[in-house]
Amino acid sequence: MRIAIVDDESVFRKQIESSITSLYGKGEVSCFHYADGSELIAAFRNGFELDAVFLDIEMKDMDGMETARQIRSFLSDIPVIFLTSHTEMAIAGYEVSAFRFLSKPVDMEKLRETLKDLEKKIRIEEKIVLKVDGEDVVYPVSLLVYAEAANNCVRFVFTEECAEIRMKFSDAIALIDSVSGDFFKCHRSYYINLGRVKKIGSADASMDNGDSIPISRGLAAQAKQKLFEYIRRNGR
């Protein structure tokens, strides 16, 4: 995950980065520092890509609210987490679709919750690209119900449509795993989205699109355990 930290106090930027990496892991997150909003806007205009912005509201030059307004003019969905000593500013933040507000000094448990929710949002919005009839088509991985090996092809079954692609099943699994950790291989020919499981038994899984997927003998207990882990992890 790539996070911008925008604050005119370098000490605080370093503190928040230290807190984020201690909770998230250095290998899993990269933090980029900006001393004011104009620096961040310039980076965005130059095509720099980020997953989220931790943004101080009270800065000397371009303040956080104005920075957020400019961000929203060309990036409507990026999560913006406001940092402020004045909680009454929270109401104004809804005008720019603030993702969260964290009071200074930042409480570690609140930061942990924010990072967890942020990870969920980013994961839900992750996408895979499939070549359909010679064209690259983008699909949200959250809408993928399951993938099925079919001869020399793989059927990607989404909530509203299906795409059959000529590729190895192992390559399909690797593609899905590159953007999501919420799938489970319940059978040699099926890779299911745990978030789309409606009911699970000893021999099959009922998916939320109405399809019933077989579970290999010996994998039923593991499938149930993976589903329970998913539910605990995502609060579903």
Domains of the chain: 2-124 (3.40.50.2300), 127-234 (2.40.50.1020)
pLDDT band at 92 (very low <50, low <70, confident <90, very high): low
Contact 197, 209 (CB under 8 A): no
> Lowest-confidence range among 34-43, 61-70, 202-211?
61-70
* 132-144 pLDDT, tens digit each: 998 999 999 989 9
Contact 125, 52 (CB under 8 A): no
Q: Is 70 exceeded by the pLDDT of residue 109?
A: yes
In this predicted structure, what is the pLDDT of residue 137? 93
Average pLDDT, the chain: 89
Q: Is 60 exceeded by the pLDDT of residue 88?
A: no
* 146-181 pLDDT, tens digit each: 999 998 999 999 999 999 999 999 999 999 998 888
CA dist 22 → 78, 112, 194 (Å): 23, 10, 29
> Lowest-confidence range among 15-29, 39-53, 184-198?
15-29
pLDDT band at 76 (very low <50, low <70, confident <90, very high): confident
- Mean pLDDT of the 105-116 span: 91
The token duo for 182 is 């919420």
DSSP state of 159: S
- Mean pLDDT of the 5-20 span: 95
Strand order through the sheet with 204-207: 197-200, 204-207, 212-214
